[in-house]
Amino acid sequence: MSFAGMSDLRELYQEVIFDHNRKPRNFHEMAEADRVADGHNPLCGDQLTVYLRLADDVVADVSFIGHGCAISTASASLMTEAVKGRTVAEIEALFHDVHAMLTDAAPEGRDFGKLQVLSGVREFPARVKCASLAWHTLHNALTGGGTARTE
């Protein structure tokens, strides 16, 4: 039973979300990127581009640009912090676990760290796609897929 009230709203809009919305981290283009992917949510118009620079199997640098709601911007910003320095395999595993956390239930034993704040969207089904857009785009950048779409 999903019944979002004021307390659920506070769960969704935590200070970390506001902070990353106002001051998104790694928010810039990257000329030396070797992987780039676009993400688009046609329903709400959210649009972003994710840039990656790989060193062997490790994401040496990651950044994004675009525009969207607070949830989508904060999710992208938090994501760049979470994946920098990780291996492609680790990031793919994280992508699947974050997706599970946003839509269903978080996998047991996974410590999401700061990303935990994103779990609040679970009570707002209409907003899940906002939080997941950046992650789908990152996934496409790593796997060579086309434009990511969440709707």
CB of 100 to another protein, least distance (A): 22
Nearer to another protein, 47 or 49 (CB): 47
Contacts of 98 (CB under 8 A, 6+ apart): 112, 115, 118, 132, 135
Q: Binding residues for another protein, per CB under 8 A?
A: 3-6, 8-9, 12-13, 18, 43-47, 67-71, 124, 126-127, 130
Nearer to another protein, 2 or 105 (CB): 2
CB of 142 to another protein, least distance (A): 27
CB of 45 to another protein, least distance (A): 4
Nearer to another protein, 9 or 60 (CB): 9
Nearer to another protein, 5 or 146 (CB): 5
Place of tokens 């199997």: 57
**C-alpha torsion 102→108→111→113, nearest 10:** 30
The side-by-side arrangement of strands in the sheet containing 46-55 is 58-67, 46-55, 35-41, 148-149
CB of 18 to another protein, least distance (A): 7
Cα separation, 70 vs 51, whole angstroms: 20
Backbone angles phi, psi at 116, to 5 degrees: -55, -30
